[in-house]
Structures are given as structure tokens and as C-alpha cells.
Chain A
Amino acid sequence: MSIAPDTDLQENSVVTNAPTFEEAIAFIWAEADMLDRLDYKPWLKLWTQTGKYIIPVDRDADYVDALNIVYDDQEMREARAKRLLSGFSMSSAPPARTVRTVSRFVIEAQDESSITLRGAQMLAEYKYEHMRFLPADMRYHIVRAADGSLLFDEKVVTLINADDFQFGIGYLL
């Protein structure tokens, strides 16, 4: 079977522009490291302007018309980062210490400019004699920006006990 040269070229350029699995994972790991270090200002720049950061209550909800733990657009992410870094929020000053790992990645979809992954996050929290554990299913929609960098267009953190009780959480998931 022969392939026309221009089709070949087009396919090559698709492969070049699509975020690869490895790039996406490195991006997610860099974010996890940022969040454990409370490095929220650069974190704000990891998002598209229309990106949504969602922590649902119900596993299968239509998030926009359901009550969520978090449903943040850019403005709310900025307000949240400001609050957590302000020093005036009792629940985040001092903050709990967190250690998280993200793994068990599977590609859900991929096109010329984006990749959708699901994964697992294991997060341990320590504060005031309490050790807490917040495992979650993760879903990321990651896009390639014009300058070639990667950005989150959607990140959904579904806690293993999303529809049950939580404790106050004074950091980002």
C-alpha cells in the first residue's frame, strides 16, 4: 500500500503536536510536586483560561448542575491560591503536610492537540497528631498551548469517599 507524501507529513505533524503519554505524565508529576510544596503561584499558570478544576461529591454527576466540593474556574483558582497563601486562613496556616504520588495512568483519548488520561492519586496528610489518607481517582484533560507547553483544561479529583464525610482540607488536591 502506498501513502501519498503529504499524508505522511500530516501524520508526522500530528504525532509532533499531540502531547505524548510520557510528556503528560511528567507534567502531572511536576504538578504533584508543586502542590506538596504549596507552590501555588506557578500552579495557576498550568491552566487554560477556560480550564476547570473539579472535586465532585457524586461520582457520576453532571458536574455543572451538581453540588461539588470544588468547581473552580480561573477566577476561583486565583482566589483559592490567594486564600491558602494569605496566612489568615486558620485551616491552612499552618498548613497540613502532604505527600502524594500519582500513578496507574491509562490513556482515555488522544487527538492532535490534547490527551485525556485517568490515573490514581495517593495522598497522605499530617497535622496535629492526625495522619489522614485521601486516595482518589484522577482524570486529566491536557492540551498543548501555542508556545508548545502543556496545560490542564480539566482536572477531576474523585476522592475514594467523595460521597461520604471528609475532614476540613486546607490545601489543594
Chain B
Amino acid sequence: MNITDFAALVQDDRVHTALYKDPAIFEEEMDRIFNNTWVWVAHASDVPAKNTFKTSWVGRQPVIVTRDRENKVHVLLNRCRHRAASVCEKKKGKASVFVCPYHGWSYDVDGKLRKVPHAKGYEEAFDTAQFPLISLRVEEYNGLIFATFKQDIEPLADFLGSAKKWIDLFMKQGAGFGVRTLGEHKFRFPGNWKIQLENTTDAYHFPIVHKTFLDSLDAETENVFDVLGQGGWVEDLGNGHSVMVMIPDLIDLEDNLDAPIPDRFADLAKELAAEGYPDDQVRRIVRAVGGSGFNLNLFPNVACSMAFFRVLRPVAVDETEITHVAIGMDGGPAAGNRARLRLHEHFQGPMGFGTPDDAEGWERVQRGARAGDDLWIMLNRGVDAPDGVAEAGHNAGDVSAETGMRAAYQMWKRMMSA
């Protein structure tokens, strides 16, 4: 097989194992996908005020996300234009200027080169305007900040398309307050980035891999997480995006506010009532604290998953970094955010009751993929449409269908063979 014939490596119901282990394919993916589309870099609350910043990545390239004095967000390549030293090595913070520690070139938060030390050593024609930090194109949708190297790409809103509705539903977790990031877990696994991309809309693995998480819940909560038994579905949203609805009752967090408060949130509800929140607001907050009942996968690197953002960063063909960003209410009750933190710790992160088992599964895929030089990864589960739930005209399957993966790989194929 000709390895550069990428289209031949993706069929309708299967993809070739070379996609997980060929370093040449990985290099092409970085160029053709990650340097060529909208890539998630931050949530707006990561840069909450003027002169705040966060460091991030677009594919393999380190960037700084900044907010300037006019509240405009910039995404800048994190390398000095002089001799390439990184100009910022902090994760986040406040800065009105970035100074290269090597020779002292200083940059404004919008990237402009402010000053070079001992400027008279340069020829008179030296023009600082020629050497700003490189700016990427930036757009934001409902707090999600994306950047791209491709200046002539379609607007972010068009790229997100049908996914926008689900982003709006996801942000209802603010319960009437804003949404803000509360902290993040970072972990790596020795495997290809697409193995994780597949996982976000894979409900088929959930009761098997996460048996010990389910066993740790009370009976009422365990029922809620019986994701294969609740009439959920997976839907192809176009452009590689997909949504997996696991708990249809939790699609819209502003619905069913009269439903009884689950036992696991009874203490929280009491605490909020004691703090003086009226009953309808208590119900809204409690329902939001539990998170949304769906996972939204946005191609290629971010998911809005139940109650957190899941961000993937390809490091090498067989190494991927995952960040699980906990989110909560901005300005909401501390007790509610505390409850969300404890829920996040329960499942997520390098010692959660869920994440290490996912990571082990992904590593096992990469290890197993060493066997067989011409075998395929099967994605043929669930081609029958579920009953009347997906948007008309959309490709959809029942909750355990591999529809989301097929959607992502069709986008991969489109971008890799363009």
C-alpha cells in the first residue's frame, strides 16, 4: 500500500492500523490537520482580565493566549523573533509585557515588538514592526477560544456548525452564573492521539472499563450512569464533530427543575438553602452541579464532556497528553463548586476511578497495534438509526454506535487528502 495515499487508509467502517503507528503519517497530520484548522486553545475564563495570559498549544507548537488592554484575545507563537527562545514559561498569570530572557527583546501582549536593547547595533533601517511575535487567527464561541494558522479558513461559527447548539446546552452548567475553569488534571499515555479522540463518543466501553467506578456509586447514581440503557444516541454533527447523548434526561439542565433532588446532592441542597438561595435557584444549581448528560467531541482536539473540557495534545506518534479541565460557576456558591471538584476528582485525573482505566485501555490499543502489518481498526458498530432523536438529516446511531468515530475519520480523510 502506498503510504501517502491517505484516502485509502480510511474506509467507511474501518481505518488502517498504520494511522496509529506510522511516524510519517503523524508528521503529515500535524501539517494537514493541526496547522490547518480551528484548534481549541483556552476557555475565556483562563484569561479573565486585561493583561492576563495562559500558555497553550496548537498541534506541536507552543503558543501564548493573551488578553490585551482592549480585552481583545491574541494567540501568539511562544518564540522570540530574534533567536527563538521561548518568551513565557509560566502556565498562566498576569503580564503587560513579555521579555525574552536571552537578549531582552520585549513584546506587548498583542505581540508587537516594543523594544530591543542596544538598538544602535542594528542598521538604521531596522524596523521593529517587522518582528512581532507571530499571531494566529483567533475566534471565540460561547467562551471557547480557538486559533488557527490558516488565515483564510471559514469562520469558527461555520466550522462548528451543528455543534453550536450542544455547546450552548453544555454552558448551562453555569446555572445562571458564568462558567469558569476550576483547575486541571494533566496526564499522558503512550499511544496515538486518535485513540483518545475515538474514546469520547464511545459508550460501548463504559460499563466494562468503568465497572469499578460504577461500583463506587450509590444505587440511584449508578442507574443514572447506566449509559447503554437509557435511550441515548450518537450523532454525526459534520466537520468531524459528534455528540454522544448518554443520559437524555440531562440534555437541557434547565428542564425538569421540579424533579426530586437526588440523594447524593441532598446535603448540598440543604447547604445552599441555608445560605439563603431560593428553592428554584437551589434546584437549578444542584442540577447543574451534576453535569450534562452528553459528550460533545469537537474535531480535532477538544471535547465538552459531562462536566469538564477534555483537551488532547499530540506529542508524538505514540505519545499523547490529555488535560481534563474542571469547570464550575463563576460567582456561584463555593459549596457548589466544591461539590464539582470532588465529583471531578472521583472520576478524572491520574488517580481517578475512571481515567487510569481509560489510559490503560488506550495504551493496550497502541501495544496491540504492533501486531499485524496489514490489519484494520473496526468501526462498524451500530449503523441502524435510533428512534427519532437525532436532528433530521443527520447520520446517527444508538448510544453504543461507532458513528462519532466514523465522523471523525471521514474528516481526517478529507483533510489528509485535500
- A residues contacting B by CB (< 8 A) are 55, 57-58, 64-71, 76, 79-80, 82-83, 86, 88-92, 128, 130, 163-170, 173
* Contact status A83-B212, CB under 8 Å: yes
* Contact status A166-B345, CB under 8 Å: no
* Contact status B360-A168, CB under 8 Å: yes
The digit string for B349-363, where 1 denotes a CB below 8 A from any CB of A, is 111010111111101
The digit string for B185-196, where 1 denotes a CB below 8 A from any CB of A, is 111111000000
A162 to nearest B CB, angstroms? 10
* Contact status B182-A67, CB under 8 Å: yes
Instruction: Determine which residue in B211, B212, B342, B349 has the highest number of CB atoms from chain A within 10 A of its CB, and name it.
Output: B212
B105 to nearest A CB, angstroms? 28
Known A83-B216, A167-B188; judge A65-B345 contact (CB<8 A): no
* Contact status B212-A55, CB under 8 Å: no
Number of interface residues of B (CB under 8 A): 40
Q: Besides the contacts A66-B183, A90-B357, what 15 more A-B pairs have beta carbons closer than 8 Å?
A: A68-B345, A69-B350, A71-B342, A82-B215, A83-B216, A86-B215, A88-B215, A90-B209, A90-B361, A91-B360, A165-B186, A165-B188, A166-B350, A167-B359, A170-B356
Residues of B within 8 A of A69 (CB): 185, 345, 349-351
B103 beta carbon closer than 8 Å to chain A: no
A158 to nearest B CB, angstroms? 14
Secondary structure at the B interface, as helix, strand, loop or mixed, is: helix
Q: Which of B183, B212, B346 contacts A88 (CB 8 A)?
A: B212
Within 8 A of A (CB), among B262-306: none
* Contact status A55-B187, CB under 8 Å: no
Q: Which of B185, B359, B367 contacts A57 (CB 8 A)?
A: B185
- B residues contacting A by CB (< 8 A) are 91, 182-190, 209, 211-213, 215-216, 321, 326, 334, 337-338, 341-342, 344-346, 349-351, 353, 355-361, 363-364, 367
Residues of B within 8 A of A68 (CB): 341, 345
Q: What's the Cα separation between A130 and B366 when bound, in Å?
A: 14
Residues of A within 8 A of B216 (CB): 79, 82-83
Q: Which of B91, B187, B350, B367 contacts A128 (CB 8 A)?
A: B367
B262 to nearest A CB, angstroms? 17
Q: What's the Cα separation between A57 and B352 when bound, in Å?
A: 13
Q: What's the Cα separation between A91 and B363 when bound, in Å?
A: 10
Residues of A within 8 A of B215 (CB): 82-83, 86, 88
* Contact status A167-B189, CB under 8 Å: yes
Residues of B within 8 A of A80 (CB): 353
* Contact status A65-B355, CB under 8 Å: no
Q: Which of B211, B342, B346, B350 contacts A168 (CB 8 A)?
A: B350
Q: Which of A57, A89, A91 contacts B183 (CB 8 A)?
A: A57
* Contact status B353-A83, CB under 8 Å: yes
Residues of B within 8 A of A163 (CB): 91
**Closest A residue by C-beta to B364:** A90
Q: What's the Cα separation between A92 and B355 when bound, in Å?
A: 12
Q: What's the Cα separation between A10 and B190 when bound, in Å?
A: 60
